[in-house]
Structure formats: C-alpha cells, structure tokens
C-alpha cells in the first residue's frame, strides 16, 4: 500500500478523517474526547496519551552518526552495503540489542 493509503487506513481505524489525522500529525492539539477515542482504538489504557514521555529525538551526535552511516551506505556498492550491515549487526549482537529489519 502507498504511504497515503496507509495513512487513510490508519485514520479509518481511529474513526477519524484522513485530514484530521494529518492535522494531528502537524501537532494540532486534540481534545479529551478524541484522545480517549484514539486510546480505545489502539488498545491503550485511558489517559495514556496524557502521560509525559521522554524526548527521544536524536542528539546532535546521533544525527552526525546517522549522516555518516548514510553517506557510507550511498557511496558503496552492494558488497560494501552488505559488509556495512554485517558490521552494524555484529555490534548489536555483541551488545545484545535486537536489530530491526
């Protein structure tokens, strides 16, 4: 499915319009009624959206590493990409962190 199709399908699971979902993603504040509706449709406990969350935005160092990894990925061929992936997966395995595919 296309990203737009996935967005529309997700909005449908929340019983809201795709345009409302777009506004929510753009940091539009939502009311209590809509928050409870989203929690219910996503199987979250009542009040879950109101709980404070830790900021998980990448730090400057993490952004620099991602830019470096992307540059390395784009600058090499298939064999180089395979080696880069294998190296990163080995680092994750050494630290027992599951790799996401």
Name the token pair of 46: 């009542």
- Which structural domain, as residue segments, surrounds residue 28? 3-50
Domain count, the chain: 2
The answer to whether residues 4 and 25 touch, using CB atoms and an 8 Å cutoff, is no
Whole-model pTM: value is 0.54
- Residues of the chain with pLDDT > 90, as a percent, come to 83
Residue 85 forms part of a structural domain = yes
Q: How far is CA 84 from the centre of its chain?
A: 23
pLDDT in tens, 49-80: 999 999 899 999 999 999 999 999 999 999 99
- Which residues, in sequence order, are CB contacts of 76 under 8 Å at separation 6+? 84
CA–CA distance, 98 with 91 (Å, rounded to integer):
10
Q: Is residue 100 part of a domain?
A: no
Report if residue 36 sits inside a domain: yes
Residue at 28 is within a domain = yes
């Amino acid at each position: 499915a296309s990203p737009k199709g996935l967005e529309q399908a997700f909005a449908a699971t929340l019983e809201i319009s795709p345009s409302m979902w777009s506004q929510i993603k753009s940091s539009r504040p939502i009311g209590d009624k809509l928050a409870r509706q989203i929690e219910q449709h996503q199987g979250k406990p009542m009040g879950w959206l109101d709980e404070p969350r830790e900021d998980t935005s990448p730090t400057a160092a993490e952004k620099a590493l991602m830019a470096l990894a992307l540059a390395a990925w784009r600058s090499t061929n298939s064999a180089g990409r395979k080696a880069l992936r294998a190296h990163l997966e080995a680092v994750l395995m050494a630290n027992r962190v599951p790799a996401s595919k």
